[in-house]
């Protein structure tokens, strides 16, 4: 499949939205609510698996190239940040969400919700072990894997489920409209 000019624009747009989403923080009692995962999920829903993946890969490449779009800056040294695994997980997240939702005969809440949960799970499957490894092996601070889960998963579960609900509710309304306008393959 050829990438069109429109695809390139949308890929760049969703890479930019993901970057901005990491800086938009809504204070909550436990951890700040950011929009990064939300925009990543929308990349999968609206761009599909291939272009969604490319948009998130572009986001990571731009950050590793030295543009300060990650929460603590940018550059190749960012791979040593314990939270970099979550950033890598965004690539797989957009791909999975796109794969589950593209080509669906019906545009249903449950499909978008399950797709979002599956994509989010990928972020944690990559992010938590990366966090554990970097703290244990690179920073040489001994922690258990369950401590890494308590630090890098538990505080975020509720807000991330809320994001999955937001994606599903809005996608059910927006995807058919964008399909009728010809911006994405039609999903009834």
* Span 38-70, pLDDT tens digits: 999 999 999 999 999 999 999 999 999 999 999
Give me the residue spans of the domains in the chain. 5-180
State whether residue 26 is helix, strand or coil. Answer: strand
Protein fold of 5-180: Arp2/3 complex 21 kDa subunit ARPC3 (1.10.1760)
Q: What is the mean pLDDT of residues 4-11?
A: 96
- Cα atoms in the Cβ-side hemisphere of radius 13 Å centred on 37: 29
Q: Is the model's pLDDT at 188 over the cut of 50? A: no
The pLDDT of residue 142 is 94
Q: What is the mean pLDDT of residues 130-158?
A: 94
Question: How far is residue 54's CA from residue 12's CA, in Å, rounded to a whole number?
Answer: 9
Question: How far is residue 115's CA from residue 94's CA, in Å, rounded to a whole number?
Answer: 10
The pLDDT of residue 32 is 72
| 102/104: higher pLDDT | 102
Inter-residue contact 25 to 151 (CB < 8 Å): no
The pLDDT of residue 158 is 93
**DSSP letter, residue 137:** I
Determine what percent of the chain is predicted with pLDDT higher than 90.
82
* Span 113-125, pLDDT tens digits: 999 999 999 999 9
* Span 25-36, pLDDT tens digits: 888 776 678 899
How big is the CA angle at 9 (ends 7 and 10), to the nearest 5 degrees? 65
pLDDT band with cut points at 50, 70 and 90 for residue 127: very high
How big is the CA angle at 117 (ends 166 and 1), to the nearest 5 degrees? 90
The pLDDT of residue 31 is 67
pLDDT band with cut points at 50, 70 and 90 for residue 5: very high
Average pLDDT taken over every residue of the chain: 93
Give residues with Cβ within 8 angstroms of 147, minimum separation 6.
none
Question: How far is residue 187's CA from residue 172's CA, in Å, rounded to a whole number?
Answer: 10
The pLDDT of residue 30 is 63
The pLDDT of residue 183 is 81
Question: How far is residue 71's CA from residue 59's CA, in Å, rounded to a whole number?
Answer: 13
């Amino acid at each position: 499949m050829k990438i069109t000019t429109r695809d390139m624009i949308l890929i760049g747009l969703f890479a930019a939205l993901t970057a901005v989403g990491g800086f938009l923080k809504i204070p909550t009692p436990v951890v700040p609510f950011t929009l990064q995962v939300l925009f990543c999920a929308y990349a999968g829903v609206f761009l599909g698996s291939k272009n969604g993946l490319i948009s998130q890969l572009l986001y990571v490449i731009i950050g590793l190239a030295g543009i300060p779009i990650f929460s603590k800056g940018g550059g190749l040294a960012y791979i040593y940040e314990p939270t970099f695994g979550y950033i890598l997980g965004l690539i797989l997240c957009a791909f999975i969400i796109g794969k589950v939702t593209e080509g669906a005969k019906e545009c249903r809440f449950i499909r978008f919700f399950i797709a979002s949960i599956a994509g989010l799970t990928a972020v944690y499957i990559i992010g938590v072990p990366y966090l554990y490894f970097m703290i244990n092996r690179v920073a040489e601070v001994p922690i258990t894997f369950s401590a890494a889960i308590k630090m890098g998963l538990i505080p975020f579960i509720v807000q991330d489920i809320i994001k999955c609900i937001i994606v599903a509710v809005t996608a059910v309304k927006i995807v058919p409209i964008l399909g009728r306008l010809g911006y994405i393959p039609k999903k009834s």
